[in-house]
Structure 1
Amino acid sequence: MANRKGNRRERELVNRLDEAGFAVMRAPASGGATQRELPDVLAGNGEAFYAIEAKSSSGKPIYLTGEEVEALVYFSRNFGARPKIGVRFDREDWYFFHPGDVYRTDGGNYRVKKEVALAEGETIEDLLDRAETGGADVERVLTAVEQGTLSAEEAAGMFD
């Protein structure tokens, strides 16, 4: 049942991004159907490209494994996309985070609480605005380096 709900939420995200003007595709092979770790959604509008790992919850905190986030960052870097963790809580909209902005647990996993998503998450409109202004967000990249999510070399490559 949870998998069906997750699939429905991913399709919903694809439709929302499409309505916002992004070219978008869902990678239904993500989550174990292939040996390669793929993001759930790829979206771009000619100015910005996003690789999104999508998660949803009724209201409980959303957890991602360290491996999921590392795979997202790795794929994004190689693909030329900006990594985003997309979260949706019941009766709320989608919110997005750079992996370096997500709370990292002592065990090396990542957690997003509903109140944090509502207060600090980026909206689809924010993704559009960022696409229009172009360039990597320096502060977020530096935070990711500081937290160990990105190496200094990976961060430098984002500014080329």
Structure 2
Amino acid sequence: MNLNLCINYLRMLINIKQVYSVGRTKGYSAERELVVKLWRMGFAVMRAPASGSKIKRAKYPDVVAIKSCRVLVFEVKSRSKLESIYIDEGQIRKLKEFADRAGGQAFIAVKISGDKWRVVGLEQLEKLNSNTYKVSREVLLSSKGLEELLRDLKLIPSLEDFIRQT
């Protein structure tokens, strides 16, 4: 085998790995950011170690958060700009199954670069075909922020509640 051919092949593999890693790193970073944010709000929270991996039979969400016996499970998406998001039907099915088994609620948490966290309930997803769900740009624009959702679920106090307590 030609040495130059081997070197070129290795360079190609390294480039593929780097391209693949950049997208994965952004996803991990968003998941970690959500974990830290929820932890600081008083949740017991963890990032599932198998999230995003190639384990086909696993039914793990990206992030699980528990507070006051309430379980929230999140599929985390990260985008550089506000645009529609397409999600594989298998991811949604696994997320829902995990939430059902845990007696919890399932959400899609979306981090747009330079913007607040947006949270979408599964009932807001649009089923495009047997394999794909869509979170439209319009749904993202009208979706609740993380803090707003948690206040609505009575998991963090509203400003009025906080003032009443002091």
TM-score normalised according to structure 2 size: 0.71
Aligned to 1:58: 80
Aligned to 1:116: 139
State the Cα RMSD in Å: 1.8
Tell me how far apart the structure 2 counterparts of residues 115 and 19 of structure 1 sit (CA, whole Å). Answer: 30
Local SS of the residue matching 2:154: helix
Contact kept, 8 Å, 1:30 with 1:40, in 2: the verdict is yes
Contact kept, 8 Å, 2:125 with 2:133, in 1: the verdict is yes
Contact kept, 8 Å, 1:47 with 1:132, in 2: the verdict is no
Aligned to 1:101: 124
Aligned pair partner of 1:45 in 57, 61, 67: 67
TM-score normalised according to structure 1 size: 0.74
Aligned pair partner of 1:28 in 24, 46, 49: 49
1:87 to partner: Cα distance = 1.0
Gap regions ≥5 residues in structure 2 = 1-21, 156-166
Q: When the two structures are aligned, how many residues end up with a matched partner?
A: 132
Aligned to 1:149: none
Gap regions ≥5 residues in structure 1 = 134-160
Q: Which has the larger radius of gyration?
A: 2
Between the two proteins, what is the percent identity of the paired residues?
A: 33
1:47 to partner: Cα distance = 4.5
Local SS of the residue matching 1:55: strand
Aligned to 1:9: 30
Aligned to 2:159: none
